[in-house]
Amino acid sequence: MGAGSGRRIDAVDIVDGASIGRLIGGVVALCAGVSFLDGFDILAISYVAPVIGAAWQLPREAFGPIFAAHYIGAALGAVLFGGYADRYGRRLGVIIPTAWFGFFALATVYAHDFRSLFVLRVLIGIGLGGALSNSIAMVAEYAPQRTRATLVSLMYAAFPLGGVIGGPIAALLIAKFGWQAVFVLGGVMPLLLTGALLLWLEESIRFLVLSRASNEAIGNILHRIAPDFSPQPSDVYVLPQNRGVSAKPTREIFSREFASATVLLCIAAFVAQLVIVYVVTWMPLVLASIGMPVTSAILASVAYSVGGMLGAVGLARMIDKDKSYRGLVATFVLSAFSIAGIGFLAKNWHGLLAISFVTGLLTVGANIVLSAYAATVYPTSIRSTGVGWVVGWGRVGAIAGALFGTALVAAGLGIETAYLIAAVPSLIGGGAVALVRARPQPAAIYA
């Protein structure tokens, strides 16, 4: 039967009109598992740093490169696996890097010095960066437009949840079994998740249409998303834009149509991650340096993560309801004031918990919703690559945040001055997002 003889079915219209059922909810939950493990892993190294430092007789400044190593790998992984997913599919673009980082997390128990730990942290980061960026794209492509920011943010909000749950668990494991036990758990969990992804994660419906998968496969998934839709063998499935699988997605994201948005989003992601990593990764070490017990410093990090989890979902709901990202700009600006406040409240335990919570709400919330926004800027054919570059530059910012902390510690600055300096990048991020919104963005309505 000719290609034009059947019904032309816009797959995006079907998804946008559907309720959030089992299939979409399952995709969000599975991808949230990836985000959770990313959060657990990033904070795990900050939790074990004081213990490893004492055991290996490493100075505090030595952990700047260790903290940065994860992000070096993650920046590479986000770009490499993003391009892979745009060519070969989101599903394997999530599964392969998840198995990758699980294997190398387990191998971390054999780290015995600075060099071996650094290399393993880079390798773990490659897997986590690729898995997370493709999870963002996957959820964005299954989410109805009316709830896209909320569902992507819910998925990504599992990142701070990994810190909330991981903090007390890490403290218990370190006390009872030593620091190696934290990485045993951090390796087993992603390997178990890999099995679940193989069993239950579907390929992106939009990628299936884009890559001209079989009508039966596309129709069955659309029927599971929207039970009222009855697929027919002669149906022709389309997306709102006339694009195929891109042979050169990186070139496209820097084309005249997308170059300005790509650069501005990368700047915003860079500074967002810089401040998050400085605040949360260095918090246990910085607070311990002013005499606070390690367990109390970890609890302050947990308060930060709880705030981040709630802030991401709350901000996303505001954006979906308002249909505007103006709140994202305001959140970046407000976060600058809260970051500065940490330094002035560090010696007041209850004040520190409160300001850590608020700072997490604002900084993590802004970073997560920024990723949701980035997923709306690019069409399906280049979405994983575009999001991968944004996430990748965020990880470069995270590297800068880790090294930034090293520089501030080595400079011997007071804690008030250090956090005042750390607040400035948030203002830059707000400006970058504002400039993106000030430019015409026809891609925002793309599939």
pLDDT digits (tens, 9 = 90+) for 135-148: 988 998 899 988 88
Matching residue, tokens 């860079």: 270
- Tell me the per-residue pLDDT of 390-443, one tens digit each, with 9 for 90 and over: 888 988 898 888 778 778 777 777 778 888 888 899 999 999 998 885 444 443
On whether the CB atoms of residues 274 and 323 are closer than 8 A, the answer is: no
Gap between the Cα atoms of 263 and 260, Å rounded: 5
Which two three-digit tokens encode residue 295? 């367990």
The token pair at 249 is 């997605």
The three-state secondary structure class of 95 is helix
Structural contact between residues 42 and 282, judged by C-beta atoms closer than 8 angstroms: no
State the burial class of residue 269 (Cβ atoms within 10 Å of its Cβ: 0-12, 13-18, 19+). Answer: buried
Question: Do 382 and 245 form a contact (C-beta atoms < 8 A)?
Answer: no
Residue 245 burial (C-beta neighbours within 10 Å; 0-12, 13-18, 19+): middle
Handedness of CA 160, 267, 397, 107 (dihedral sign): positive
Domains of the chain by start residue, with CATH: 11-445 (1.20.1250.20)
What backbone phi and psi angles, to 5 degrees, belong to 111?
A: -65, 135
pLDDT for 109 equals: 92
pLDDT, block means (10 residues), the chain with 447 residues: 67 89 95 92 80 86 81 89 89 96 94 92 94 91 87 84 79 88 93 97 91 90 93 86 60 84 93 86 66 70 80 77 76 92 80 88 87 80 83 86 77 80 92 74 43
What integer best gives the mean pLDDT of the chain?
Answer: 84
Measured distance CA(78)–CA(376) in Å, rounded? 17
Per the structure block, which two tokens stand in for 387?
């999001």
